[in-house]
Amino acid sequence: MKPADFFAKYAADAQRTCHGTGLCASVCLAQAAIESGWGESGLTKKANNFGGIKAGSTWKGKVLVLPTREVINGKSIIVQAAFRAYDSPADYFTGRLAFLKGLPRYKRLFSSDDFVAEAHLFQACGYATDPKYGATLVAVVNRYGLTKYDDVPTR
């Protein structure tokens, strides 16, 4: 999917979910674009999971097991992982918020000053194993002007 089409299709869901939470819709959209391969990944197409959110022991919903790349001790490896499966894209965005609120390690995300701080906090809080994750999120937000979606109420 082309970036403009991706953002047109999913921006309202990200805005609705992030508005009033302290989270930036711009970072949410950048993360969804990166993690889902612009909506084209198998995880996204089969499970509406745009963020690579894994199904931990507390997850009671549907699961999809797929190979994924992780960076461990500086080495990129492929592992099998169980991911959360959502019924729709809107359910993913709502589920992402619940996931972040449900883990104490992400508490700092809700009080970041701006999208740059939030993007780097995702890395600091351990959301991804890629050491360049925060910088990648910032680059996507800047490249596509995604801050226009921040703190904008939607119906």
Ordered structural domains, the chain, with CATH:
3-40+87-149 (1.10.530.10)
Residue 111 pLDDT grade (very low, low, confident, very high; cuts 50, 70, 90): confident
Please tell me the distance from the alpha carbon of residue 39 to that of residue 56, in angstroms, as a whole number.
23
Which two three-digit tokens encode residue 152? 């904008």
Query: Whole-number mean pLDDT of the chain?
Result: 92
* Joined tokens for residue 95: 């589920």
Rounded to whole angstroms, the Cα distance separating 114 from 118 reads 6
Pairing type for strands 63-72 and 75-84 reads antiparallel
pLDDT bin (cut points 50, 70, 90) of residue 155 is: very low
